[in-house]
Amino acid sequence: MSIIELTEEQRMIRDVARDFAENEIKPVAAELDRQGKFPTELVKKMAELGFMGIFVPEDYGGSGMDTFSYVLALEEICKACASTGVIMSVNNSLVCEPILRFGTEEQKREYLTPLARGEKLGCFSLSEPAAGSDAGSIRTTAIRKGDYYVVNGTKNWVTNGPEADIIVLFTSVDLSKKHHGITAFIVEKETPGVIVGKKEDKLGIKASGTSQLIFEGCRVPVQNRLGEEGEGFKIAMHTLDAGRIGIGAQAVGIAQAAFEEAVRYSKERESFGMQISKFQAIQFMLADMATQIEAARLLVWQAVIMQDRKMKFSKQAAMAKVFASETAMWVTTKAIQIHGGYGYTTEYPVERHFRDAKITEIYEGTSEIQRIVIANEVLKEFS
């Protein structure tokens, strides 16, 4: 229950996502995690449900809903499986969003439409081995040669990197110009010179693929440039603002899952002759968990409502992400504590939620980066 009233369409997509997550994702989530197996079938079904391009207009193959609808659906998917959720969120927020906003009509027809339909999968490639938080220092170059740019460099931490068909890639056309040289492209993975590098073995979100992408003399047509030369940094920042709301929703989903497990367990488990839910030590934890989750969800909703209203939302997105991700980490820790020794084993899902929560404090901008964004905005407001 919330005082924010959802439209019929928003309730509908949340309920469809909830049923799908509960009936089809949750039963297989632990096994996907154990095997580190990309959920091909689930992604196909998400495409059929219209979840791979929720806010993309129907003209471009999407579901034509608002971004709030996307966030509602994403929380439900992530509650069942954060790996499946991040595959969906990268395709929507980090790939469809920048092409929809900055792409040409031809780029939208050629790339956005199959991405939004889920016929193709996208990834977002900004970070490098020596440039993560300091995104303005990327070293991958794109040198123009007539109708092509020749791209060379190595990218790191690319979610969907091993499986994606389409890459939204950030390069520099002139390293001396620092962030003013950064230029974005839409690159087909099959282009000669694109190599999928090391696949990471991770602590959590194990069923989603994360890899390096290496570009060796890769020729990208000029018509695949996204925006103008030098506009790439702003495209990346805008895209990440939007993406961070999605990661906030993912974190809320993970926290909600762990919380519900903790409530259930506390009512089943007996200790000292009674259910452990009767102890104030447990009740205080549950009360704080519920409060933090609700606050996190409201911050996520505030940010997405502002995005849908076309207001400036960088600060609210950063607040939502940092608060929701730290809530997810804290709530999942307490959920394990309530389960005691059982919570530390793979017999119960809370250890998976705990492992999955950690990445939400890191990707799409660490908690420290979110605090920098918030502080910059706050200081501007009071200058």
Binding site for ligand CAA (CB under 6 A): 90, 124, 126-127, 133, 135-136, 157-159, 179, 233-234, 237-238, 240-241, 314, 363-365, 369, 372-373
Minimum distance from CB of 15 to ligand CAA (Å)?
28
Q: What is the dihedral of CA 71, 304, 209, 46, to 10 degrees?
A: 30
Interatomic CA distance for residues 307 and 35, integer angstroms? 37
364 is annotated as an active-site residue: yes
- Residue 75 or 128 having the CB closest to ligand CAA: 128
Nearest to 262 by CA among 357, 324, 349, 339: 339
- Residue 73 or 90 having the CB closest to ligand CAA: 90
Minimum distance from CB of 159 to ligand CAA (Å)?
3
* Residue 7: DSSP 8-state: P
DSSP readout, 137-165?
A: G---EEEEETTEEEEEEEEEEEETTTT-S
Q: Decide: 19 and 13 in contact? Cβ < 8 Å.
A: no
Minimum distance from CB of 180 to ligand CAA (Å)?
6
Minimum distance from CB of 34 to ligand CAA (Å)?
23
Interatomic CA distance for residues 84 and 45, integer angstroms? 11
- Residue 34 or 312 having the CB closest to ligand CAA: 312
Q: Which two tokens stand for residue 364?
A: 């799409």
Minimum distance from CB of 29 to ligand CAA (Å)?
20
- Residue 54 or 289 having the CB closest to ligand CAA: 54
- Of residues 119, 188, 364, 377, which has the active-site annotation? 364
Backbone angles phi, psi at 361, to 5 degrees: -85, -5
35-40 long-range CB contacts below 8 Å, 24 or more apart? 35/207, 36/201, 36/206, 36/207, 37/207, 38/87, 38/162, 38/163, 38/207, 38/208, 38/209, 39/81, 39/83, 39/84, 39/87, 39/207
Tell me how many degrees the CA angle 335-338-339 measures, rounded to the nearest 5.
90
- Residue 70 or 124 having the CB closest to ligand CAA: 124
- Residue 251 or 282 having the CB closest to ligand CAA: 251
Minimum distance from CB of 284 to ligand CAA (Å)?
35
User: Between the CA of residue 288 and those of 112, 255, 331, what are the distances in Å?
Assistant: 42, 12, 9
Catalytic annotation, residues: 364
